[in-house]
Structure 1
């Protein structure tokens, strides 16, 4: 039972026209994603791969190697895109100065090199050396072995259903702005409830 002043999520969703079954799914999926996010932030599998493969670099450095290589599908780009330091920063959503520093570290370690753009000779691009590419491929292979072992217990029918649905679900946040506009009144009410809660919390 909800305490007075608390927001009843189920009532809110039903009032917004979201079916009870969908509301239950939303709540359950969010709980799973939050748990997944916390585990993903720890990068447990990535840490283990770097240790087990005895690579000798950290995850931030590995991420830069991946951003330089840009495996198909990971950054929504196609093959043939030239990579610059600014590209690495954009792909990883990090500060350009940080991207420049880590790229330089990878160059010094022999995992990346600077080259001249084929499209514009005035432009410096970054590419992996054979050693750097081997690291990216080895870590991805490690991850795929672990994931492949887990998915081996799934049936072909499970996989055939799961993959299209996962791709579809991967786009759910893209319409968040339109959804926020659609539920502007409900969101305004939630903001009012927050403001009222703050007022009650103020010392007398």
Structure 2
């Protein structure tokens, strides 16, 4: 019968954090143990933490985004690109229950910024010809946003560039691996969003 692995033995294993690791100093392995996670799950979560840091670093330093944006016909700063993507996702119902007429309020909600910030982003997109303001069909007092052909053109370039990188990233992955990764990552993102939105 194999001996039960304890948090202290996890810390000393070859692939695990060193004693000076901030996670160890903060007693994270012990906390996970107290919360009922198995030694194998604790090890997996600590390794996920490392991989997640690598991903965030690539994104924050624009290693991934910079490569995606390289060669596009126009260069938009990150906030404007995110704003354009948000308007398109709302308008086309991507990742949402159904398509909706985009408003500044919905853009602010999707981007998780305050309405004044979203309003400035939308105004810049309008001035550049990527988005147009229009009047809602059901309420003439309500202003809605429409992605213009120029906006869809840039989004097409962006999607092509992004997916070419993703195709290279998943090269060699089996179908089962891709489906399992997608399922688990969606579950992780949904759970994280639920936790973050709690009071």
TM-score by length of 1: 0.74
1:119-156: CA deviations, max 9, x gaps? 21210111111111111122012101110122122122
Q: Mind listing any 5+ residue stretches in structure 2 that lack a counterpart?
A: 1-11, 13-18
> Residues 59 and 65 of structure 2 are in contact (CA less than 8 Å); yes or no, is this contact kept in structure 1?
no
Any idea what SS the aligned residue of 2:113 has?
coil
1:100 aligns with 2:99: no
Number of matched pairs: 176
CA distance in 1, matches of 2:31, 2:104: 46
Provide the secondary structure at the position in 1 that maps to 2:132. strand
Give the TM-score of the pair, scaled to structure 2.
Answer: 0.76
Q: In structure 2, do the counterparts of structure 1 residues 64 and 176 end up closer, same or farther at CA, with 3 Å as the change threshold?
A: closer
Say yes or no: does 1:127 pair with 2:146. Answer: yes
Q: For residues 180 and 77 of structure 2, what CA distance do their matches in structure 1 show?
A: 36
Deviation of 1:45 after TM superposition, in Å, equals 2.9
Mapped pair 1:156 → 2:175: yes
- 2:48 corresponds to which residue? 29
In structure 1, C-alpha distance between the alignment counterparts of 2:109 and 2:183, rounded to whole Å: 28
Q: Quick one: distance in 2 between partners of 1:101 and 1:7?
A: 41
TM-aligned CA distance change 1:158 to 1:73, over 3 Å: farther
**Which has the larger Rg?**
1
Task: Tell me: higher relative CO, structure 1 or 2? Use CA pairs within 8 A at least 6 residues apart.
Answer: 1
Of residues 87-96 and 138-147 in structure 1, the stretch that sits farther from structure 2 once superposed is: 87-96
